[in-house]
């Protein structure tokens, strides 16, 4: 018995040993199931997945707080509101952006800087690899055209903030980089800027020739009209820059009128009512050429985190412009706070940015004939909780356009709500006592899950109306300003429209909106852009590339006036970029003055 | 040997004896058959017993009979297992069982020779007694000790590498949930730092510093001879018999590509022949906070709030409470007593060369905050069997189920410390106030933390791990001295992570989901692996030459896979996470998963040679082939050589009677660090966007059509290689005054090159992620001092012994690629330590009389005063710039650290005091980095940690005036977080009593010891605690705050930081060790 067991055990031991001793070098070969390599982008599905990423990456540039901050804060339109002003919640980046004390460590400037190159490189991969991918040519060309449109846009968003940026990421200009490159190819600045503009114009030109004529009705895949808009915008930007070329403004005029004159071909029209352009639920209207898409209320698919500010791809703009409606007392300062409960529509009063006095008093001096102020700003809040004589849904308080109107409300004993005069509004009235100001309502989203969520509606990037403004500006700059008049008047007359106005009243208002050639100059164009495009993440570059930033901030933005000077026309290169660059002479890469 | 006439027995009590030391150990070792190499720890205990039983038992039948029963305990009164008991002058003997008991037929008036590893050997004349109790003197640094050196054991006196052992008794002195805790401060060169304070939280173990920038610096763990992947939490510390730590390359080269970070060899208990015994070890303890965070009280809070930028007035409730003088201490509201219990039962016995041991354990620890606990159930079984004379087989199975609750969600330290003291948790009717925050911004998202006191189906936060670790061996002695052995290790882990957060409604507010619907998440992960080792060992002694050869061929494979689902909008809270299909179809579930596999092939050979017990040499070579490296680079070779000289055995030392033994050691070897993750050489394209789950997938929608996108995350690197570390080690081992003083001194220097380093590329390279590559060079050198002394060994029975270890490690980065001297993005500074803190120097606060000077820096009095360190021309230039005024302020390495254990015993009483200390270095307190913790931001809308801030009437130089802008330099707040990291801590005091004689008989037990322990007693010294009131030990690795200071390296090699986590628990514990 014992010896049998012994034999058995010996046999098992020897057999196991033999089994394990088998030469098994093939065990050392990796067979990953979960890892794609860059080779993936050489397949048809890889190309499409790459393009999806390129679209998705734009969510960083349109909506998140950093992106809003660098395009709106410290302009003639907006300055920083209560939270940055009191330093609450890590908002120092928005004070320093707005009062022009920002340094290279500012967090907001990282939003485009840290996000865009990765997508530019991916676009390079798609453009470089596509010729070798076996698939049908039409689909392939469409993908390449989208990739080039998006690459051009990624570059534009960088150039307008930082000036010259690298086309060579480590493997050569506009080539997919797979090298662990530690250099930073932005020198010499002037030459690189010339190449940047050329690359963007080439991309948008290719896109305007190879994208579909029209976008799908219910989606925002890039189409020709959007490419023409970006092309026009880029030509105009170059026309004002040190890289300007003869014919830039003429080319911009040609690109923009191409769409204006062929609206049916490109499937675009102006909305009759300005209010419909930005109306929730009408996000896919034919005036919007291109939006960065999201699905209202769908946090995961929007890549946004519930209740977060910054750090995800949601639309923080939905809360950033929201004043502290929850603390406003009605009927008087001793009253209750009828809107103390936040609602999804009104959002979280995160109080990052508020309108400047200039915006309220000058740009929108005419709030009657021009419907765009009312259609852009919330002036009335309804009660969100019962108590103090208010039922939910009663008017809680209103912001009055004039002191007279406010007085007329506040002196009527039957009116229980309160009207706040312009002189009492935060910043606008020169006061910080009342934490209330007109709230930009373009991004309000009633389908959020909770009030603190970021918004989830498509974010307009290119609107047909802007093509009229670009065409008018190009005409003016190209020396035929008379051509600008009808273009501007189309936009201005449309702005007179309000539902319910009688025909004669509307006609009178339209007439009042009309302008003449004598009125046209760059400042007028910029004023008109504010009225049409206020708060749409365009303003800072609009001013900076046209070399009007310093002048207009000094005139119209009390917070920024003291410190701004010419070097602020571009942002500092972020410190983290310089820290990671393998070159001892890092300062040579920094923009002058920082 | 005892000299004639020397008293051998000191009478302690009627039947309890204490012995003086002898050098009997040597004799025992000579008599014992030499332990073959390649056998785990267990053999040093099983072998003599098996040997003796097999050969001697038949003879005993004919001898004159006198059965002596005995019980052997250590200094702390705990039974000692495996003590060899031999009748002097014969080969008859036995050894003690698990409970320290033995029984032997001793013949007439014998002298018993008692010896055991780690204790001083003793001789005992029995006289007429037939029942004795013996207390052994701990002498675990005795050179006669046997240590586990990897693929075998070696006598300590023959060891030429750097090895340190921690025995079972020492492991038990601090009652802890896991081995990491038990090892803190117990061995020179072994640094254990806490990284969390929740139940079951782990700790970071580093042996002789760190060598890798972005790879793992964790040592290799070997459990019962088999490399062990995964969590030490899965091991029941009660199952552990000993821990041996291999520190230098000559010791770790046998583990080749995994040896660079040192090796920790854990050996579990095995069975022992003899009468079957049942024993119980257990304790129960109650814990209280070892400190409370100092926060502003009501008056102080108001003072701060009134001068802060916060313009909104006090809420009605606050005003009312101010009027009434009613304050809430939110820490008192939330902290509860914690509980901790550990219960282990084991049965062991065996005969005729077969032995077994079975054990079961239950451990549970709750926390100071509701909702957090850790439970572990464990079962183990060991069988060792001898088949004939030449074959041995055995199996060991260790099985644990661990359940951790409350480790995945953010538990409410922030609200506890930041809620206004003038808000109340309960309203006048005694109901919980839903959102007692003063600040409107928090109201939507921050409910009353007191809701956590009653779960009410509001949340599940549970991680359940099942682990089964099995090893089987078979050994065949082919000819005398030549053995073949196969070890098979089979390892399987399954983990399920469950999360559920109930929906919020008026009747049942949901702390974790304010104003939100419910959400659930389940992750199932499995890992399995096997190790097969073929070992050939050969022992031969020819005259004065002793030779031992070990050859190895092994293969290890390991595989992991997980699948996760996150789902919102579960139909009803009652189903929690159990049936995710019972939910609304939208939003769609978020599904994730991953897989890794790797394998390692190895050949190893080792030769140990000893001449005349004086000259020793070890030669080791290993070849490792790894799947993780790119083709063409997979195989590498690791050589090591070491030598020793037992000077104590030289004839010229005979005259120095004070020196019991003395040995010099020197070693050199090369190892590497298996710190490349599988597939890392391949580059990576995936659809992860870097945002937190569940929004972490690159998505886009074209209208209603949702798609996913892929992007490049890391670049491929076909040249990826290991990091290679070369180490020189010099050591002296000594024993003085008849081994009353033993110890060792070590010096080492290691140089690591081809360091794996995730280069943070500038984002303009087009790749967002870091790039893993081999660049750079790093050096560590240090010294280690270990000393054990028997301070008092009086005839009255009073004993006092001390173990002390002290060590330091100096880390220095020698080079990076391309001649770069600093890489700020990755926090690497050539010439400085890896834990360097690079920042502006905080010089306090600008005072009123410095207003003019402050203005030149754009500052005002009351703002942070940063040092104008340098400029482009090398001198201060009157401006603070990121390029010239940030520099290496220091590092978080301890300049000296160590542990001390003092043990006292008198009659049945024993007392041990365990201390741990670190001196030097800076710590990073994120609590005090205002934009990280928000607890020192002093914006007025929340309360915070009580710091002394500047006001026009309080010229503080610590914190700036509460204001929106504390400095024109946007990152100046980070400089508020650096403090002296030194401390001396009393980890535990353990007081016990061992019953003996009549009382033991009344209890019908073999042995009973009862004890009382207090742990986390406090800090004898800590500048940080003195200044801030917060414990100076880590709670996290890397940034744990809201804003990233930017100079804390991300990942597991980041600086250890202190954030506002639950305070450590001070436990009051009663326990018992009982053997029946």
**Tokens of residue B881, six digits:** 């710039």
Q: Which residue of B has its CA nearest to A5?
A: B387
Contact at CB, B762 and A581, closer than 8 angstroms: yes
- Please tell me which residue of chain A has the smallest CA distance to B968: A101
Query: What per-residue confidence (pLDDT) applies to A502?
Result: 96
Which pLDDT value is given to residue B1? Answer: 37
Nearest CA in chain A to B966: A87
Q: Say if CB B596 and CB B676 are below 8 A apart.
A: no
Q: CB A305 to CB B695 under 8 A?
A: yes
pLDDT in tens, B835-863: 999 999 999 999 999 999 999 999 999 99
Calpha distance B321→B48 (Å, rounded): 75
> Which residues, in sequence order, are CB contacts of B674 under 8 Å at separation 6+?
B216, B257, B258, B600, B626, B628, B722
Q: How confident is the model at residue B31 (pLDDT cuts 50, 70, 90)?
A: very low
With contact defined as beta carbons under 8 Å apart, do B1007 and B1000 qualify? yes
pLDDT (tens digit per residue) in B1028-1063: 999 999 888 888 887 788 888 877 777 889 999 899
Question: Tens of pLDDT along B225-235?
Answer: 888 887 787 88
Helix boundaries (H) for A76-188:
82-86, 92-98, 110-129, 137-162
Residues 6+ apart with CB under 8 A from A311: A64, A305, B691
B627 touches chain A (CB under 8 A): yes
Report the Cα–Cα distance between both ends of chain B, in Å, rounded.
Answer: 35
Is the pLDDT at A330 greater than 90? The verdict is no
CA distance B886 to chain A (A): 12
What is residue A89's predicted lDDT score, i.e. its pLDDT?
67
> Does the pLDDT at position B655 exceed 90?
no
**Which residues, in sequence order, are CB contacts of B266 under 8 Å at separation 6+?**
B179, B221, B222, B223, B224, B228, B235, B240, B242, B243
Residue B344 sits at the vertex; the CA angle it makes with B341 and B350, to the nearest 5 degrees, is 175
Least confident piece of the model among A371-385, B191-205, B352-366, B973-987: B191-205
Which residues of chain A make contact with B823, given a CB cutoff of 8 A? 579-580, 582
pLDDT tens per residue across span B733-782 = 999 988 899 999 999 999 999 887 777 889 999 986 678 888 889 999 99
SS3 at position B317: helix
**pLDDT score of B46 more than 60:** no
Cα torsion A367, A368, A373, A378: sign? positive
pLDDT of residue B111: 78
pLDDT of residue B56: 36
Q: What is the DSSP letter of B922?
A: E
Chain B (580-599) residues lying within 8 Å, Cβ to Cβ, of chain A: 586-588, 590, 593-599
Q: Is the per-residue pLDDT at B37 higher than 60? A: no
- Tens of pLDDT, residues B360-398: 999 999 999 999 999 999 999 999 999 888 999 999 999
Q: What pLDDT sits at residue B17? A: 35
The answer to whether the CB of B712 falls within 8 A of the CB of A125 is: yes
Residue that is written with structure tokens 């006292």 in the block: B904
3-class DSSP assignment, residue A542: helix
Q: What pLDDT is stored for residue A40 in this prediction?
A: 93
Distance CA(B17)–CA(B114), nearest Å, equals 12
In chain B, which residues have their Cβ closer than 8 Å to the Cβ of A434? none
Query: Is the Cβ–Cβ distance between A64 and A318 less than 8 Å?
Result: no
Binned at pLDDT 50, 70 and 90, residue A8 comes out as: low
Q: Does B484 touch chain A (CB under 8 A)?
A: yes
Does pLDDT of B728 surpass 90? Answer: yes
* Residue contact B709–A6, C-beta within 8 A: no
**CB spacing of B700 vs A293 below 8 angstroms:** yes
pLDDT of residue A234: 98
B931 in contact with A at a CB cutoff of 8 Å?
Answer: yes
Residue with tokens 């319910």: A500
User: What number is the average pLDDT over the span A200-220?
Assistant: 97
Q: pLDDT over 70 for what percent of chain B?
A: 91
- pLDDT tens figures, B117-170: 667 677 777 777 777 777 776 654 444 578 888 888 888 888 888 888 888 888
Can you say whether the dihedral through the CA atoms of A34, A38, A42, A48 is positive or negative? Answer: positive
Helix, strand or coil, per DSSP, at residue B36? coil
In B, minimum Cα distance to A575 occurs at: B882
Q: Which of A16, A51, A451 sits opposite B486 (nearest CB)?
A: A16
Task: Give the tokens for residue B598.
Answer: 């790797």
Q: What is the pLDDT of residues B679-723, one digit of tens each?
A: 888 878 989 898 887 888 999 999 999 999 999 988 888 888 888
B764 touching chain A per CB within 8 A:
yes
How do residues A106-124 score in pLDDT, each as one tens digit?
A: 999 999 999 999 999 999 9
Q: How far apart are CA B344 and CA B199, in angstroms?
A: 19
8 Å CB contact between B733 and B663: yes
What is the mean pLDDT of the segment spanning A51-58? 98
Residues in Cβ contact with A503 at an 8 Å cutoff, skipping those fewer than 6 apart: none
Nearest Cα residue to A294 out of B693, B701, B590 = B701
Chain A residues with CB-CB distance to B597 below 8 A: 30-32
CB B10 within 8 A of CB B798: no
Pairing outcome for strands B373-387 and B391-405:
antiparallel
Q: In chain B, what's the furthest Cα-to-Cα distance?
A: 103
Is the pTM here over 0.80, yes or no?
A: no
Q: A309 pLDDT band (50/70/90 cuts)?
A: confident
Quote the CA–CA distance of A173 and A121 in Å, as a whole number.
11
- Report how far residue A2's alpha carbon sits from residue A4's, in angstroms, rounded to the nearest whole number: 5
pLDDT tens, residue by residue, B895-916: 999 999 999 999 889 999 999 9
Check whether B489 has a pLDDT greater than 60.
yes
B562 Cβ under 8 Å from any chain A Cβ: no
Burial of B626 (0-12, 13-18, 19+ CB in 10 A): buried
Does B776 contact chain A (CB < 8 Å)?
no
Residues A444, A447, A449, CA angle at the centre, nearest 5°?
Answer: 110
């Amino acid at each position: 018995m014992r010896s049998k067991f012994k034999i058995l055990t010996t046999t098992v031991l020897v057999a196991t040993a033999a089994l394990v001793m088998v030469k098994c070098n093939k065990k050392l070969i990796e067979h990953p199931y979960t890892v794609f390599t860059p080779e993936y982008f050489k397949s048809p599905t890889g190309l499409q997945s790459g393009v999806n990423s390129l679209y998705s990456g734009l969510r960083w540039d349109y909506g998140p707080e950093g992106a809003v901050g660098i395009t709106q804060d410290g302009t003639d339109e907006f300055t920083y509101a209560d939270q940055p002003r009191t330093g609450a919640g890590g908002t120092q980046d928005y004070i320093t952006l707005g009062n022009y004390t920002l340094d290279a460590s500012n967090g907001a400037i990282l939003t485009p800087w840290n996000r865009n190159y990765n997508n530019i490189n991916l676009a390079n991969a798609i453009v470089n690899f596509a010729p070798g991918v076996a698939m049908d040519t039409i689909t392939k060309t469409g993908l390449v055209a989208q990739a080039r449109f998006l690459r051009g846009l990624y570059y534009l968003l960088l150039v307008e903030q930082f000036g010259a940026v690298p086309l060579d990421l480590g493997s050569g200009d506009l080539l997919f980089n797979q090298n662990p490159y530690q250099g930073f190819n932005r020198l010499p600045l002037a030459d690189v800027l010339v190449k940047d503009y050329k690359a963007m114009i080439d991309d948008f030109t290719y896109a305007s020739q190879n994208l579909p004529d029209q976008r799908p009705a219910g989606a925002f895949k890039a189409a020709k009209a959007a490419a023409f808009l970006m092309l026009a915008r880029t030509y105009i930007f170059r026309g004002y820059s040190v890289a300007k070329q003869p014919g830039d403004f003429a080319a911009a005029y040609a690109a923009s009128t191409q769409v204006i004159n062929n609206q049916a071909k490109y499937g675009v029209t102006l909305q009759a009512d300005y209010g419909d352009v930005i109306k929730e639920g009408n996000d896919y209207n034919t005036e919007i050429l291109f939006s960065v898409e999201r699905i209202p209320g769908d946090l995961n698919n929007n890549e946004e985190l519930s209740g977060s500010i910054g750090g995800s791809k949601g639309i923080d703009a939905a809360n950033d412009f929201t004043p502290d409606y929850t603390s406003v007392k009605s009927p008087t300062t001793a009253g209750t706070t009828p809107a103390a409960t936040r609602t999804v529509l009104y959002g979280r009063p995160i109080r990052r940015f508020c309108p400047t006095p200039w915006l309220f008093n000058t740009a929108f001096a005419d709030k009657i004939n021009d419907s765009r102020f009312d259609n852009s700003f919330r002036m009335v809040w309804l009660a969100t909780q019962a108590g103090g004589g208010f039922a939910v849904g009663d008017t809680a308080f209103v912001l009055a356009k004039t002191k007279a109107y406010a007085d007329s409300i506040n002196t009527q004993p039957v009116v229980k709500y309160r009207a706040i005069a312009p002189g009492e509004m935060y910043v606008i009235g020169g006061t910080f006592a009342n934490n209330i100001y007109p709230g930009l309502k373009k991004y309000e989203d009633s389908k959020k899950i909770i009030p603190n969520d970021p918004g989830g509606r498509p974010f307009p990037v290119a609107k047909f109306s802007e093509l009229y403004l670009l065409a008018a500006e190009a005409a003016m700059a190209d020396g035929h300003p008379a051509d600008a008049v009808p273009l501007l008047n189309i936009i201005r007359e449309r702005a007179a429209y309000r539902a319910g106005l009688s025909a004669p009243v509307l006609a009178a208002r339209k007439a009042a909106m009309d302008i003449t050639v004598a009125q046209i100059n760059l400042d007028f164009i910029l004023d008109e852009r504010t009225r049409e495009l206020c708060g749409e993440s365009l303003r800072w570059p609009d001013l900076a590339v046209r070399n009007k930033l310093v002048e207009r901030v000094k005139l119209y933005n009390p917070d920024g006036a003291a410190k701004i000077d010419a070097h602020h026309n571009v942002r500092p290169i972020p410190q983290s970029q310089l820290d990671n660059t393998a070159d001892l002479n890092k300062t040579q890469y920094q923009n002058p003055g920082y | 040997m005892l000299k004639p006439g020397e008293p051998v027995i000191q009478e302690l009590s009627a039947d309890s004896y204490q012995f003086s030391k002898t050098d009997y150990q040597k004799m025992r070792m000579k008599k014992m058959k030499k332990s073959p190499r390649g056998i785990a720890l267990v053999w040093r205990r099983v072998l003599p017993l098996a040997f003796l039983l097999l050969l001697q038992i038949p003879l005993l039948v004919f001898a004159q009979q006198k059965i002596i029963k005995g019980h052997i305990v250590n200094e702390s009164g705990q039974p000692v297992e495996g003590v060899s008991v031999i009748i002097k002058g014969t080969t008859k003997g036995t050894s003690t069982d698990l409970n320290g008991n033995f029984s032997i037929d001793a013949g007439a008036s014998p002298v018993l020779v008692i010896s055991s590893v780690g204790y001083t050997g003793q001789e005992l004349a029995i006289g007429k007694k037939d029942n004795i109790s013996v207390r052994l003197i701990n002498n675990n640094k005795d050179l006669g000790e046997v240590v586990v050196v990897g693929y075998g054991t070696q006598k300590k006196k023959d060891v030429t590498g750097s090895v340190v052992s921690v025995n079972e008794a020492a492991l038990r002195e601090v009652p802890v949930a896991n081995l990491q805790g038990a090892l803190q401060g117990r061995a020179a060169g072994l640094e254990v730092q806490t990284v969390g304070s929740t139940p079951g939280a782990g700790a970071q173990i580093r042996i002789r510093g760190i060598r890798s920038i972005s790879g793992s610096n964790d040592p290799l763990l070997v459990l019962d001879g088999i490399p062990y992947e995964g969590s030490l939490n899965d091991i029941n510390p009660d199952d552990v018999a000993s821990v041996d730590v291999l520190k230098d390359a000559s010791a770790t080269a046998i583990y080749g590509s995994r040896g660079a970070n040192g090796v920790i060899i854990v050996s579990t208990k095995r069975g022992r022949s003899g009468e079957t015994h049942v024993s119980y070890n257990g304790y129960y303890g109650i814990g209280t906070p070892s400190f409370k965070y100092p926060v502003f009280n009501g008056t102080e809070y108001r003072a701060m709030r009134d001068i802060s930028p916060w313009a909104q007035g006090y809420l009605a409730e606050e005003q009312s409470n101010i009027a009434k003088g009613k304050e809430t201490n939110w820490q008192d509201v939330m902290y509860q007593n914690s509980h901790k219990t550990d219960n282990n039962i084991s049965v062991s016995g065996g005969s005729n060369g077969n032995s077994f041991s079975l054990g079961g354990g239950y451990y549970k620890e709750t926390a100071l905050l509701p909702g957090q606990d850790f439970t572990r159930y464990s079962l183990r079984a060991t069988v060792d069997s001898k088949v004939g004379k030449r074959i041995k087989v055995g199996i060991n199975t260790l099985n644990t189920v661990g359940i951790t609750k409350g480790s995945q969600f953010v538990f409410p330290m922030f609200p506890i410390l930041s809620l206004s003291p003038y808000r109340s948790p309960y309203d006048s009717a005694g109901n919980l106030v839903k959102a007692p925050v003063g600040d409107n911004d928090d109201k939507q998202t921050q409910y009353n933390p007191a809701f956590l006191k009653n779960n009410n189906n509001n949340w599940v936060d549970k991680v359940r791990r099942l682990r089964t670790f099995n090893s089987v061996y078979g050994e065949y002695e082919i000819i005398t001295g030549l053995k073949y052995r196969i070890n098979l290790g089979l390892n399987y882990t399954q983990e399920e992570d469950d999360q559920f957060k109930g929906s919020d409604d008026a009747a049942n507010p949901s702390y974790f989901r304010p104003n939100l619907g419910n959400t659930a998440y389940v992750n199932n992960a499995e890992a399995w692996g096997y190790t097969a080792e073929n070992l050939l060992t050969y022992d031969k002694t020819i005259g004065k030459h002793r030779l031992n050869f070990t050859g190895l061929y092994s293969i290890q494979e390991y595989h992991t896979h997980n699948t996760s689902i996150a789902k919102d909008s579960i139909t009803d809270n009652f189903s929690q996470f159990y049936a995710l299909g019972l939910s609304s179809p939208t939003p769609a579930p978020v599904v994730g998963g991953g897989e890794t596999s790797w394998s390692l092939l190895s050949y190893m050979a080792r030769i140990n040679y000893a001449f005349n017990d004086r000259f020793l040499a070890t030669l080791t070579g290993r070849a490792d082939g790894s799947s993780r490296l790119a083709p063409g680079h997979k195989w590498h070779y690791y050589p090591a050589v070491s030598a020793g000289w037992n000077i104590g055995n030289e004839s010229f030392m005979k005259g120095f009677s004070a020196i019991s033994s003395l040995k010099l050691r020197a070693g050199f070897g090369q190892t590497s660090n298996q710190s490349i993750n599988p597939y890392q050489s391949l580059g990576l394209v995936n659809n992860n966007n870097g945002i937190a789950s569940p929004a972490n997938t690159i998505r886009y929608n074209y209208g209603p059509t949702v798609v996913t996108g892929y992007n490049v995350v890391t670049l491929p690197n076909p040249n990826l290689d290991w990091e290679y570390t070369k180490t020189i080690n010099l050591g002296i081992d000594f024993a003085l005054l008849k081994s009353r003083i033993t110890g060792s001194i070590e010096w080492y220097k290691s140089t690591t090159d081809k360091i794996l380093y995730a280069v943070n590329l500038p984002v303009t390279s087009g790749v967002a992620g870091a790039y893993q590559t081999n660049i750079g060079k790093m050096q560590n050198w240090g010294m280690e001092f270990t000393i054990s002394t028997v301070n008092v060994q009086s005839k009255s029975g009073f004993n006092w012994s001390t173990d002390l270890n002290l060590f330091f490690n100096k880390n220095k980065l020698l080079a990076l690629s391309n001649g770069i001297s600093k890489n700020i993005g990755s926090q690497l500074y050539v010439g400085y330590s890896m834990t360097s803190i690079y920042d502006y120097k905080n010089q306090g606060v600008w005072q009123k009389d410095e207003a003019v000077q402050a203005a030149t820096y754009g500052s005002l009095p009351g703002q942070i005063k940063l040092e104008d360190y340098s400029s482009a021309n090398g001198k201060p230039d009157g401006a603070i710039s990121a390029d010239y005024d940030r520099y290496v302020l220091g590092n978080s390495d301890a300049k000296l650290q160590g542990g001390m254990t003092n043990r006292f015993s008198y009659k049945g009483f024993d007392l041990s005091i365990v201390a741990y200390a670190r001196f030097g270095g800076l710590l990073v307190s994120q609590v005090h980095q205002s934009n990280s913790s928000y607890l020192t931001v002093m914006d007025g809308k929340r309360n915070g940690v009580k710091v002394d801030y500047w006001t026009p009437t309080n010229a503080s130089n610590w914190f700036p005036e509460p204001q929106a802008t504390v400095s024109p330099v946007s990152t100046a707040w980070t400089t508020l977080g650096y403090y002296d990291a030194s401390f001396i801590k009393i980890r535990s005091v353990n007081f016990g009593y061992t019953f003996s004689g009549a009382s033991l008989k009344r209890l019908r037990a073999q042995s009973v010891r009862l004890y009382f322990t207090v742990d986390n007693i406090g800090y004898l010294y800590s500048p940080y605690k003195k200044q801030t009131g917060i414990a100076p030990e880590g709670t996290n690795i890397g940034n744990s705050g809201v804003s990233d200071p930017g100079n804390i390296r991300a990942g597991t090699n980041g600086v250890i930081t202190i954030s506002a986590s639950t305070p450590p628990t001070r436990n009051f514990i009663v326990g018992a060790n009982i053997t029946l």
